[in-house]
């Protein structure tokens, strides 16, 4: 009986927790999840896995050599990105220029031109595809989907245009950050 109740409770949590935006902003979930917000629902996400950290380090190391970094831009990990008034996503990495980082008033939310999502087995295809549409609708210009288990990167420059890369294929964050480029093997080097 306890296992059945726990399974139902976990299923409800995965569907989200209804709350207002103000409640969400003042709320501090006391579980192991990070939360995104989508039109009145706090949605649990797993956050970055220990085995994915090296990918973030590889991307950030390469980014640190770019002019965008020298000019004060940063790749921020799991930061709040308000795509609309009622929708907050938390990509694994998001690029913000120095000017965007310095925006501190609540009336303006900068949209990152480039985001990275580390796709995990728990991500549903519906959720993955929905976020692509949301990102581009909000003004994101490039999205990388990094599939660790497949050693594959899918680069989106719109919801309709993407390229799938393996092994020695080179990919970049153009047009948002054209100098940020890798081969797939290079990205997955530990």
The stretch 148-175 carries a mean pLDDT of 98
The answer on 167 and 82 residing in a single domain is yes
The answer on 65 and 40 residing in a single domain is no
Q: Rounded CA gap, 44 and 36, in Å?
A: 6
The answer on 83 and 63 residing in a single domain is yes
Share of the chain above pLDDT 90, in %: 78
The answer on 122 and 87 residing in a single domain is yes
Domain residues for the domain of 91 are 48-187
Q: In which region does residue 9 sit, left (phi positive, over 0), alpha (psi from -120 to 50) or beta (all else)?
A: alpha
Buried b (16+ CB within 10 A) or exposed e, 78-95: ebbbbbeeebbbbbbbbb
Mean pLDDT of the chain: 90
Above 70 in pLDDT, residue 8?
no
CATH code of the domain in which 113 resides: 3.90.1570.10
Element spanning 114, H or E: strand 114-119
pLDDT in tens, 19-78: 999 999 999 888 888 899 999 999 998 888 899 999 999 999 999 999 999 999 999 999
């Amino acid at each position: 009986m306890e296992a059945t109740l726990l399974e139902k409770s976990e299923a409800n949590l995965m569907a989200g927790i209804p709350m207002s935006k103000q409640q969400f902003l003042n709320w501090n979930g006391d579980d192991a999840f990070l939360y995104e917000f989508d039109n009145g629902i706090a949605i649990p996400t797993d956050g970055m896995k220990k085995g994915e950290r090296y990918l973030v380090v590889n991307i950030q190391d390469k980014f640190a050599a770019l002019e965008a970094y020298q000019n004060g831009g940063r790749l921020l990990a799991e930061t709040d990105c308000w795509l609309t008034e009622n929708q907050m996503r938390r990509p694994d990495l998001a690029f913000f220029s120095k000017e965007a980082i310095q925006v501190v008033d609540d009336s303006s939310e900068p949209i990152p031109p480039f985001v990275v999502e580390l796709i995990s087995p728990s991500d549903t295809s519906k959720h993955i595809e929905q976020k692509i549409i949301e990102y581009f609708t909000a003004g994101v210009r490039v999205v990388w989907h990094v599939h660790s288990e497949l050693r594959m990167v899918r680069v989106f420059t719109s919801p309709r245009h993407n390229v799938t890369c393996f092994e020695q294929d080179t990919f970049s964050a153009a047009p948002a950050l054209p100098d940020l480029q890798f081969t797939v093997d290079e990205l997955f080097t530990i």
